[in-house]
Amino acid sequence: MNKLLPTCLALLAASAAIAKAPTTPPGGAAAQPAPQPAARGPALDLALDAAREALDVCTAKGFNVGVSVIDSGGVAKVVLAKDGASPRGVASSTNKAVTSLTFKAATSQLGEQIKTDMQLAEKINANANFNARAGGVLLKVGNEIIGAIGVGGARGSENDEACALAGLEKIKGKLK
């Protein structure tokens, strides 16, 4: 046993040295991971236009809301919050957009469906990041879903949805 100990320690030290050695390919350039392709979604300027419109419409109605626009991969393109918006309303806007995208339907529609579809209700209730109150709508080009917009924080989720729809309407004809 004592004769194996020095050999094991030497092998362990050699393994550690190999693991720490840089992996530089021939030519000296370090290997770069392949970039991830961007998910399909609205261009940043259109996402910003939609969010701004939704915010402005809700502001005109006296609501301090949050607005989130996400791409088809669920990545936030824009998050805006009116001065005085609550953290809960801002989080709600993102959750509504994510819920709409995940279940491929407006959250107002999902809110009605969960009243009779217990499996859907269980799926939505199982994730604290899902919100099936009105205010999340899909962004589409033809039949292809390219993202979603969510609004949260207005008194009455039907007002959230009206503002989200106003944002969608503002950019609908420009989406590609």
Q: Is residue 94 part of a domain?
A: yes
CATH number at residue 103: 3.30.450.150
Q: Is residue 16 part of a domain?
A: no
Q: Is residue 8 part of a domain?
A: no
Range of the domain at 147: 44-174
- How does pLDDT run across 2-35, given as a tens digit for each residue? 555 454 444 444 444 444 545 555 555 555 666 6
Q: Collapsing DSSP states into helix, strand and coil, what is residue 39?
A: coil
Nearest CA among 163, 148, 145 for reference residue 107:
148
Q: Is residue 109 part of a domain?
A: yes
What's the confidence (pLDDT) of residue 176?
Answer: 86
Domain count, the chain: 1
| pLDDT higher than threshold 80 for residue 119 | yes
Q: Is residue 74 part of a domain?
A: yes
Q: Which helix (H) or strand (E) is 68 found in, with range? A: strand 66-71
Lowest mean pLDDT among 7-16, 109-118, 145-154: 7-16
What's the confidence (pLDDT) of residue 32?
Answer: 66
Q: Is residue 26 part of a domain?
A: no
Q: When comparing pLDDT for 76 and 38, which is higher?
A: 76
The predicted model scores a pTM of 0.79
- How does pLDDT run across 50-82, given as a tens digit for each residue? 999 999 999 999 999 999 999 999 999 999 999
Q: Give the integer Cα–Cα distance in Å for 55 and 82.
A: 7
Q: Is residue 57 part of a domain?
A: yes
